[in-house]
Each structure stands twice: as C-alpha cells, then as structure tokens.
C-alpha cells in the first residue's frame, strides 16, 4: 500500500501533468483539423491559449520548488491560478 506522502506526490504530479496534456490535446486537435495541409496555421487566440497553459504550468512548478516567479513584461496579461478538481 502506498504511503500518504507517495499518494499526495502522485496526485500533485498528475495535476501538474494535466496542463501539459491540455497543450498536447490542443496541438493534436489542430493537426487533425488540418490533416491535409503540409503546414498548419494557428490563430493568435490558439497560440495565446497554449502559451497561457505553459506559463501556468511553469509558474506552478516554480511555486512547488520554492522559486519566485519572474515579473511579467509590460503588456503581458496577469495569469490566474486554476484548480483542477
């Protein structure tokens, strides 16, 4: 039987990986939707969604490691923390 710490760690890791799974699914969707094209085209909104998801993932890992997140450049939107239930 897994210890409580191992179970907690596994749940935390699964929660962190869910952000990467989301990015993977977004990209897979675009590849499927544009299957006949040699090159794919992403809209500005799609790129922003992917970038935001990656930024949230990086920010969460930084918090878990005790690293202070770098300050945002001017004009960048503030990131909001999301909870995965």
Host domain of residue 11:
4-65
CA distance 54 to 60: 10
The residues, ordered by sequence, that sit 6+ positions from 54 with a Cβ below 8 Å of its Cβ are: 19, 23
- Give tens-digit pLDDT for 14-46: 777 888 888 888 888 888 999 988 888 988 998
Residue 23 lies in a domain: yes
The predicted-structure confidence for 59-83, as pLDDT tens digits, reads as follows: 888 777 776 555 555 566 665 555 5
Alpha helices in 1-85 (DSSP H): 4-33, 44-65
Domain count, the chain: 1
The conformation of residue 80, written as its DSSP 8-state character, comes to -
pLDDT of residue 7: 76
The answer as to whether 28 is a domain residue is yes
pLDDT of the residue at 76:
63
Within 10 A of 66 (CB to CB), how many other CB atoms are there? 6
| DSSP three-state, residue 64 | helix
Q: Is 19 exposed, middle or buried (0-12, 13-18, 19+ CB in 10 A)?
A: buried
Domain presence at residue 47: yes
């Amino acid at each position: 039987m897994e210890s409580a710490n191992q179970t907690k760690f596994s749940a935390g890791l699964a929660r962190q990986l869910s952000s990467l799974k989301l990015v993977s699914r977004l990209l897979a969707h675009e590849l499927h939707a544009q299957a006949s094209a040699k090159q794919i085209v992403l809209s500005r909104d799609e790129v922003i969604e992917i970038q935001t998801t990656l930024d949230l993932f990086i920010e969460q890992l930084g918090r878990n490691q005790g690293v202070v997140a770098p300050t945002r450049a001017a004009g960048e939107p503030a990131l909001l923390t999301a909870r995965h239930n």
